[in-house]
Amino acid sequence: MNIEEFFQMSAGKWFSHRTSHHLAFKQSEDGKSDIIIEMLAADHPDVVKLCQQHEVDPSRASCGARVTWNGTMEWDEEKHSGSTVLVTVPDEGNPHEGKLLREMGYAEKAPVAGRYKMGSDDALTLTTEYETMWSEERLWFASPNLRMRVGVLKRFGGFSMASFTSEIRMGGKPTEQASEATSSASS
């Protein structure tokens, strides 16, 4: 599976359940979200705008997505909602690795450019370095309608959080080609 197929397979509406373990506090926290992932063409105006913001030639973008979420965390009553645009920019000569441009980062709410790598096991690994922290997230499909994620967040000086997320597709269907890719990978 390539990065475009992974994004296509991710398109749709998902229910997400995340358990995060905050190592410094020795406490776990559950969170639940509804997530909508919408594919964006490489020439979509939001993809072009994000490339320009990161000083990347928009013609190098292979695909994009808009991710919208609405959820809650166990420790607070506050609603957590938002939206961000993601854009993949493959490395020249190696389309399985490249930059992942984000309109808003996972750990810090500011634009950020990280790295992606599609593994031979069809798992996507995202690595992002911020000013004061580093994150790594691994995503894979257990089936076309079940996506898993594990992540670690490390502040300079030590790990601060580890998380496990399961996402169940609630609407929209993966493309036929992406479904076949997942079926053959699990055989």
- The pTM score is 0.84
| Nearest in space to 141 (alpha carbons), one of 122, 115, 117 | 122
Q: What are phi and psi of 47, to 5 degrees?
A: -70, -45
* pLDDT at residue 111, rounded to an integer: 80
Cα 28 from Cα 95, distance rounded (Å): 37
Task: Give pLDDT, residue 175.
Answer: 47
N residues, the chain:
187
What span, in angstroms and rounded, lies between the C-alpha atoms of 161 and 105? 16
Q: What is the pLDDT of residue 138?
A: 98
Q: Nearest 5 degrees, angle CA 65-CA 8-CA 152? A: 65
Q: What is the pLDDT of residue 174?
A: 60
At 142 the pLDDT is: 97
- Distance, in Å, from the CA atom of 181 to the CA atom of 176, rounded to the nearest integer, reads 9
| pLDDT computed for residue 185 by the predictor | 42
Whole-number pLDDT of residue 79: 74
Q: Does domain 3-186 have CATH number 3.40.50.620?
A: no
Task: Identify the CA nearest to 166 among candidates 12, 17, 5, 25.
Answer: 17
Angstrom distances, CA of residue 78 to CA of 14, 68, 82: 20, 17, 13
> Residue 108: what pLDDT?
56
Please give the pLDDT value at position 103.
Answer: 87
CA–CA distance, 50 with 114 (Å, rounded to integer): 13
Q: What is the pLDDT of residue 105?
A: 53
DSSP 107: S
Query: Given this model, what pLDDT does residue 109 score?
Result: 64
Q: Where are the domains of the chain?
A: 3-186
pLDDT at 180: 45
DSSP one-letter code for 60: G
Q: Which residues of the chain have pLDDT under 50?
A: 175-187
